[in-house]
Structure 1
Amino acid sequence: MKTINNVIAVAVFAVVIFLTITTQNVFAQQNDLKFDQKLQADFSVGMGGDAAALTRAFERSEKILEANPQDAETLVWHGSATVASSGKAFQNKNYAEGWAMWKKGLAEMDKAVELAPESFVVRIVRGATFLNASKRYPDPNVATELREKGVADYEKILSFTDEKSAKMAASQKPKILNGLIEAYDKAGDKTKADFYREQLAKTAK
């Protein structure tokens, strides 16, 4: 179980850093989102170790979801934070609780994508969570599944054509491309990795 704990801890740290930076501009551009910057900040700080902030985030997001279970942005963040929280249960040797939280968090993120497949926020949160978790997951089959879902999310973001989503994707394109390069290198797909290296080189011009 120590390996699982390490996987979750590393994944959570990487996701918090990436998403805190990535989503700072999103809420300014998407004022219609019910998931606002304050709630996002509480989730980010909370997953970084602030228990009070995480409690606030869970309480508020659960109220939002109670009123509107189809609020995909809130659901994906709640799922990501639930995955993060499973690490504490594992550390306390509450393995059944930890696995239940892990599975619930993954299911919530998957549901969020079903509800809003064209949402930048939903795709970036799930994609970052899955890709980072896949890097050190001990079961290669599960790691592959997580990585493939993360890759699908990132590639979906790059395919957005509506003006608002495309603008968001463009602002984060180098980070997304680097994530794809790393994922395809890990999978041994040199062709795809090199393709995204070429795309990354073009963004630097």
Structure 2
Amino acid sequence: MFGSDGAAQSPARTERFDMIVRADFFAGFAGDQARLQRAMEQCELTLAENPTHAEALVWHGGGVMFQAVSAFARGDPQRGAEMWERGLKEMNEAAALEPDNVGVRIPRGATLLQATMNLGAAVRPVGDYEHVLALQASYFDKLGDHPRGELLFGLAEGYSRLGQPEKARRYFERLVREAPSSGQAPRADAWLKTGTVPPASGLGCVGCHK
């Protein structure tokens, strides 16, 4: 669902907290509860040592929001609402701690884009992605097709959901032009032809690179 490789972080930055936890988080989001728990515990251990570790906080918040969605699906709306608010609060606190850390903005944006898929609430995740694109402007062309495609797809899909097809088209066209070998290029091309984003074939990684 989220992470951070080439599309999320300056080449000069070496700290890679996402590499410690993201594989376990992705496995957890796919149904492996033991690995999800391990990832959450790693975040909690890091936060116990450094309560202002923004990357650990945003990943933990994303995990809490995933648990919230699971609670809603089980028919426990009270628990779901409580966890949703907690997860959102943690992710927002992380962004406030390090607003220009793309390793924070991308996970928050990607999590919210997926978590609100049926709610139409894409304003905040699109804002996160726009901020990351601005931060990466000086070296965006040096990133690989995959990370560039992921970020551009997140922007395009977000604007499509916001009912702004002109902006969506601009980013989908840019994706096809600048990241033709990206795994998202076929979906972008489909939107350009039909105006609809086809479903992903598996666990998505929009925004999962830094």
TM-score by length of 2: 0.72
Q: Does the C-alpha gap of structure 1 residues 26 and 150 become closer, same or farther in structure 2, counting only changes over 3 Å?
A: closer
- The Cα offsets for residues 6-29 of structure 1, whole Å up to 9 and x where unpaired, read as xxxxxxxxx2xxx36x548979x6
Task: Write the distance in 1 (CA, Å) between the matches of 2:106 and 2:76.
Answer: 30
Task: Write the distance in 1 (CA, Å) between the matches of 2:171 and 2:137.
Answer: 22
Task: Indicate the residue corresponding to 1:132 in structure 2.
Answer: 114
Choose which of 159, 162, 185 in structure 2 pairs with 1:184. 159
Shift of 1:57: 1.5
Task: Write the distance in 2 (CA, Å) between the matches of 1:158 and 1:91.
Answer: 34
Q: Does 1:150 align with 2:121?
A: no
- The Cα offsets for residues 11-53 of structure 1, whole Å up to 9 and x where unpaired, read as xxxx2xxx36x548979x65434x2523222222122211111
- SS of the counterpart of 2:51? coil
Q: Does 1:103 align with 2:85?
A: yes
Q: Does the C-alpha gap of structure 1 residues 169 and 109 become closer, same or farther in structure 2, counting only changes over 3 Å?
A: farther
Choose which of 148, 152, 155 in structure 2 pairs with 1:173. 148
Shift of 1:191: 2.6
Q: Does 1:81 align with 2:63?
A: yes
Task: Write the distance in 1 (CA, Å) between the matches of 2:151 and 2:8.
Answer: 15
Work out whether residues 160 and 166 of structure 1, in 8 Å CA contact, stay in contact via their aligned partners in 2. no
Task: Write the distance in 2 (CA, Å) between the matches of 1:96 and 1:165.
Answer: 43
Choose which of 66, 69, 72 in structure 2 pairs with 1:90. 72
Higher relative contact order (CA 8 A, sep 6+): 2
Task: Indicate the residue corresponding to 1:43 in structure 2.
Answer: 25
Q: Number of matched residues?
A: 178
* Structure with more helix by fraction: 1
Task: Write the distance in 2 (CA, Å) between the matches of 1:169 and 1:117.
Answer: 24
Work out whether residues 120 and 168 of structure 1, in 8 Å CA contact, stay in contact via their aligned partners in 2. no
- SS of the counterpart of 1:172? helix
Q: Does 1:197 align with 2:180?
A: no
- The Cα offsets for residues 95-144 of structure 1, whole Å up to 9 and x where unpaired, read as 2221111111111111111111111221111111111223212xxxxx33
Work out whether residues 7 and 148 of structure 2, in 8 Å CA contact, stay in contact via their aligned partners in 1. no
Shift of 1:65: 0.9
Q: Does the C-alpha gap of structure 1 residues 95 and 185 become closer, same or farther in structure 2, counting only changes over 3 Å?
A: closer
- SS of the counterpart of 1:46? helix
Choose which of 70, 83, 94 in structure 2 pairs with 1:112. 94
Task: Write the distance in 2 (CA, Å) between the matches of 1:148 and 1:98.
Answer: 22
Choose which of 38, 42, 46 in structure 2 pairs with 1:60. 42
Work out whether residues 157 and 169 of structure 1, in 8 Å CA contact, stay in contact via their aligned partners in 2. no
Task: Write the distance in 2 (CA, Å) between the matches of 1:165 and 1:72.
Answer: 23
Task: Indicate the residue corresponding to 2:205 in structure 1.
Answer: none
Choose which of 43, 51, 70 in structure 1 pairs with 2:52. 70
Identity of paired residues, percent? 35
Task: Write the distance in 2 (CA, Å) between the matches of 1:104 and 1:197.
Answer: 33
Shift of 1:176: 1.6
